[in-house]
């Protein structure tokens, strides 16, 4: 759909647009409510911004400009009449393409669903709109939401707004890219293995994956929905932590909602950061992190220490085993569900490779591992360890092991020196934004995020810094394709944003958000804070 004449950019409107598209969702809502700006001019400014940046990003793949402007006019009438306004009244937002919005496609990157049109909004899209948000469009994804890029045969590839040769991450990468670029004030994504948090750190924005069970993802065209040990969650993405908090409260139906079951949500503004005990780690033993990522975690830890928190180094137990547990759970059906969804489809090569490996037998994979190790490809060999089982008994054993690990992890938090830990700081990903295509070799670089999917803990990302000149890599050259790909990602990464992952105990999203806001307050005063990409 083409933008209307009313939203065509002019020189006179450029400065006003720049001002509006730099405001946070919270600021926009306040100015609309006060009558300082109209919903129509706010929506127009964001549409113009999308049209300016999207040709180079390919982030917004479904546009609903006419409908958005009509909704903005009605929103202005409501405000003028003195009607009650929702907390996001008139705020322009976007949604990840896989989420249902009436009249729009939810393809998951599958060509067979290109003509699909949802008949109604899903629960979380509906709650955003009930709060007054105006949806401008939907954003690009990885095919079947399965890897840390946003590229598929239906819509093509999305580029990172900081560097077009890099990916914005996945599978919520289109959402992260357009929010970072100022085309959307707030958006929704999903996360079953880092799909909110990896794009957030790659694009320099904030996000929050809630506790498993708070906002379960209803989508049926990604990891088979019958797998319930690790369930995808809906989450909020925005440039500022306060907006993520506001959006999370909206999705929750309020802090103390009347829905069944009620899901109380604490107020992050009431958390005293000085009373928190914080544990941090810069390397979990699964994948060596880039120098800038290590520095970002330490800077975030120092920010909380300066705010009065009790901060100490801490190591999570046996993350490599936890990583294999998650991959084993995801592939427990031998990729039959994945293969069924891909049958007769044009396949993204990264998804096709995963489906192929997950469908191989244990003896075949053992042979493949031996061959890979013999030619110096230990990284690729190790990535196949969890595959090869296709029986219910093994799946149940994996779920029992997951429960045991969850208990072991909680005990480790409780037994920390000095007392139980409230908040964990760690990398969101071992590396800054990957080059396009690199995710095929870097599956385990995201283990820092997937750990908290296995555990079900709330985990957010807050932007902290950018890679500095001269600190891009300390990784030596290697014949191992995983390590050589990682080194290539690190080299010439100066200027790319880096975020830090902030984790709290289950159902304590407000604690994570409070720590995130304190880190953001400190980081935003530094010259290398990733405030806006060079678009």
CA 182 to chain centre: 17
pLDDT single digits (tens) 374-422: 888 888 888 888 888 889 999 999 999 999 999 999 999 999 999 999 9
Which of the four pLDDT bands, split at 50, 70 and 90, describes residue 7? Answer: very low
The mean predicted confidence, pLDDT, of the chain is 94
Contact 475, 213 (CB under 8 A): no
Q: Is the pLDDT of residue 2 over 50?
A: no
pLDDT single digits (tens) 60-85: 999 999 999 999 999 999 999 999 99
Supply the DSSP symbol for 203: H
Contact 452, 459 (CB under 8 A): yes
**Percent of the chain whose predicted confidence (pLDDT) is above 90:** 83
Q: Per-residue pLDDT averaged across 517-532, rounded? A: 97
Q: Per-residue pLDDT averaged across 425-436, rounded? A: 98
pLDDT single digits (tens) 137-169: 999 999 999 999 999 999 999 999 999 999 999
**pLDDT for res 509:** 98
Q: Per-residue pLDDT averaged across 228-246, rounded? A: 97
Q: Is the peptide bond before 171 cis (omega within 30 degrees of 0)?
A: yes
**pLDDT for res 353:** 85
pLDDT single digits (tens) 242-251: 999 999 999 9
**Residues 224-258 as b or e (16 or more Cβ within 10 Å = b):** beebebbbbbbbbbbbbbbbbbbbbbbbbbbeebe
Q: Is the pLDDT of residue 14 over 80?
A: no
Which of the four pLDDT bands, split at 50, 70 and 90, describes residue 358? Answer: confident
Which of the four pLDDT bands, split at 50, 70 and 90, describes residue 3? Answer: very low
* Cα 367 to Cα 33: distance, rounded to the nearest angstrom: 65
**pLDDT for res 167:** 98
Q: Is the pLDDT of residue 357 over 70?
A: yes
Q: Per-residue pLDDT averaged across 174-192, rounded? A: 98
DSSP string, 478-505: -SSHHHHHHHHHHTT-TT-EEEEEEEES
Decide which of 3.90.1200.10, 3.40.50.10490, 3.90.1300.10, 3.30.420.40 is the CATH code for 5-322+395-523: 3.90.1300.10
**pLDDT for res 5:** 36
Distances in Å between the alpha carbon of 273 and those of 40, 127, 279, 280? 39, 30, 13, 15
**pLDDT for res 13:** 63
Contact 100, 142 (CB under 8 A): no
Contact 456, 504 (CB under 8 A): no
Q: Which residues contact 424 (CB under 8 A, 6 or more apart)?
A: 278, 279, 280, 281, 314, 316, 413, 501, 502, 503, 504
**pLDDT for res 385:** 85
Q: Could you state, in order of their start, the residue ranges of all structural domains in the chain?
A: 5-322+395-523, 323-394
- The whole-model pTM stands at 0.95
* Cα 384 to Cα 389: distance, rounded to the nearest angstrom: 11
Q: Is the pLDDT of residue 36 over 80?
A: yes
Q: Per-residue pLDDT averaged across 433-450, rounded? A: 95
DSSP string, 50-64: HHHHHHHH--EEEE-
pLDDT single digits (tens) 100-149: 999 999 999 999 999 999 999 999 999 999 999 999 999 999 999 999 99
Query: Roughly how many angstroms between the first and final C-alpha of the chain, as a whole number?
Result: 23
Which residues participate in catalysis according to the annotation? Answer: 96, 171, 195
Q: Report the run of H or E that residue 176 belongs to, with start and end.
A: helix 173-180
């Amino acid at each position: 759909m083409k933008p209307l004449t009313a939203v065509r950019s002019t020189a006179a409107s450029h400065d006003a647009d720049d001002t509006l598209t730099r405001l946070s969702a919270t600021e926009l809502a306040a100015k609309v409510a006060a009558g300082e700006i109209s919903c129509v001019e706010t929506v127009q400014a964001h549409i113009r911004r999308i049209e300016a940046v999207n040709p180079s990003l390919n982030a917004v793949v479904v546009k609903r400009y006419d409908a958005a402007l009509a909704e903005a006019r009605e929103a202005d009438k409501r405000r003028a009449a003195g009607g009650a306004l929702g907390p996001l009244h008139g705020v322009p937002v976007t949604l990840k393409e896989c989420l249902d919005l009436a009249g729009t496609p939810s393809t998951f990157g599958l060509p067979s669903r290109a003509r699909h049109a949802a008949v109604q909004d899903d629960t979380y899209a509906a709650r955003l709109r009930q709060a007054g948000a105006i949806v401008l469009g939907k954003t690009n994804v990885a095919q079947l939401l399965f890897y840390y890029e946003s590229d598929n045969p239906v819509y093509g590839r999305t580029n990172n707004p900081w560097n077009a040769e890099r990916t914005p991450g996945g599978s919520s990468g289109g959402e992260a890219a357009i929010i970072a670029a100022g085309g959307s004030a707030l958006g929704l994504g999903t996360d079953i293995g880092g799909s909110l948090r990896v794009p957030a750190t790659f694009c320099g924005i904030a996000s929050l994956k809630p506790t498993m069970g708070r906002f379960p993802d209803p989508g049926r065209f990604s990891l088979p929905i019958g797998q319930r040990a690790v369930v995808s969650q809906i989450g909020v993405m925005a440039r500022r932590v306060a907006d993520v908090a506001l959006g999370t409260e909206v999705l929750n139906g309020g802090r103390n909602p009347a829905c069944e079951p009620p899901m109380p949500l604490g107020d992050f503004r009431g958390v005293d950061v000085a009373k928190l005990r914080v544990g941090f780690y810069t390397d979990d033993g699964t994948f060596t992190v880039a120098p800038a990522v290590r520095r970002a975690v330490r800077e975030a830890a120092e920010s909380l220490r300066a705010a009065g928190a009790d901060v100490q180094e801490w190591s999570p137990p046996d993350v490599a085993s936890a990583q294999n547990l998650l991959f084993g759970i995801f592939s427990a059906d031998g990729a039959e569900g994945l293969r069924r969804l891909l049958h007769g489809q044009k396949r993204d090569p990264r998804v096709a490779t995963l489906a192929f490996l997950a469908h191989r037998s244990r003896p075949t994979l053992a042979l493949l591992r031996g061959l890979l190790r013999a030619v110096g490809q230990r990284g690729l060999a190790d990535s196949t360890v969890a595959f090869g089982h296709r029986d219910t008994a093994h799946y149940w054993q994996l779920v029992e092991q997951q429960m045991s690990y969850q208990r072991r992890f909680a005990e480790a938090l409780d037994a920390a020196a000095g007392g139980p830990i409230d908040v964990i700081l760690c990398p969101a990903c071992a590396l800054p934004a990957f080059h396009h295509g690199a995710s095929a070799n870097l599956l385990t670089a995201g283990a820092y995020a997937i750990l908290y999917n296995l555990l079900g803990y709330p985990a957010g990302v807050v932007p902290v810094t950018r890679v500095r000149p001269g600190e891009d890599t300390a990784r030596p050259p290697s014949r191992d394709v995983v390590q050589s790909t990682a080194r290539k990602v690190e080299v010439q990464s100066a200027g790319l944003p880096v975020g830090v992952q902030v984790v709290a105990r289950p159902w304590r999203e407000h604690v994570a958000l409070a720590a995130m806001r304190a880190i953001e307050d400190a980081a935003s005063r530094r010259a290398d804070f990733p405030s806006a990409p060079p678009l």
